[in-house]
């Protein structure tokens, strides 16, 4: 029986390429595809799948929120991210959120996609060479830090956009007191005394990801 796989990307050309690579191996079958987050979540909700290939370029949602929603809807379905690994700390956070693998677009999709699928279906994590290098770098830099939560990413973005703490609390649907505690933990994480100092120390790649949430 072929492995049931869904792919999500905003490009039909890349979806066709993924389909061709997978179906060259008789073990795999691209059951369905989606070009936006809403269609992907609807698909996963109604269709039994073994694996979802999720691009970091998808209409209608951000990567972290989409991963969380997929974990809620189908906790036993494996998940491989197809993306650009710009920050190893973010890859680490995704793995801790339940992602099974990360395949960087800089690496050979033709060569590595079948290997990635086979690896995660054996309940083993998979990182392509570029993603693995970034991941190891991130571990060395932040070995003593907890991963950022979805709330933390969102707060970083809202702070950069100039939101007040009350506005952030409303956006996150959190009590104001808890919102201040979250901000203080972020300041401590980045070794900053003020929001401005924290923004200056946050890597551009982290802020690019936060802006999607």
Where in the chain do CATH 3.40.50.2300 domains reside?
3-141
Question: Residue 5 CB: number of other CB atoms within 10 A?
Answer: 25
Q: What percent of the chain has pLDDT over 90?
A: 50
CATH annotation of 3-141:
3.40.50.2300
Encode pLDDT of 77-96 as tens digits: 999 999 987 678 788 888 88
Architecture of domain 150-210: Orthogonal Bundle (1.10)
Cα separation, 135 vs 154, whole angstroms: 22
Which residues, in sequence order, are bridge partners of residue 5?
A: 30, 51
Where in the chain do CATH 1.10.10 domains reside?
150-210
Cα separation, 108 vs 129, whole angstroms: 10
Given a cut of 50, is residue 204 above it in pLDDT? no
Residue 15 to residues 18, 21, 55, 58, 212: CA-CA distances in angstroms?
A: 5, 10, 10, 12, 22
Report which of 92, 70, 198 is spatially closest to residue 145, judged by C-alpha positions: 92
CA triple 193-136-63, angle to 5 deg:
70
77 vs 151 pLDDT, higher one: 77
66 vs 86 pLDDT, higher one: 66
């Amino acid at each position: 029986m072929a492995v049931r796989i869904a792919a999500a990307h905003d490009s039909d050309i890349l979806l066709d390429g993924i389909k061709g690579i997978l179906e060259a191996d008789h073990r795999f079958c691209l059951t369905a595809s989606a070009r936006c987050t809403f269609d992907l979540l609807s698909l996963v909700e109604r269709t039994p799948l073994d694996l979802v290939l999720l691009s970091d370029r998808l209409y209608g949602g951000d990567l972290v929120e989409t991963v969380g929603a997929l974990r809620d809807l189908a906790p036993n379905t494996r998940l491989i991210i197809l993306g650009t690994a710009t920050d190893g700390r973010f890859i680490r956070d995704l793995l801790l959120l339940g992602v099974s693998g990360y395949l960087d677009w800089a690496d050979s999709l033709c060569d590595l996609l079948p290997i990635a699928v086979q690896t995660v279906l054996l309940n083993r994590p998979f990182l392509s060479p570029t993603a693995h290098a970034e991941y190891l770098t991130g571990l060395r830099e932040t070995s003593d830090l907890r991963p950022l939560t979805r709330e933390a990413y969102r707060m970083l973005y809202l702070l950069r956009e100039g939101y007040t703490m009350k506005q952030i609390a409303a956006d996150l649907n959190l009590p104001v007191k808890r919102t201040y505690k979250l901000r203080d933990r972020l300041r401590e994480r980045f070794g900053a005394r003020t929001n401005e100092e924290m923004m200056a120390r946050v890597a551009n790649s982290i802020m690019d990801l936060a802006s999607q949430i």
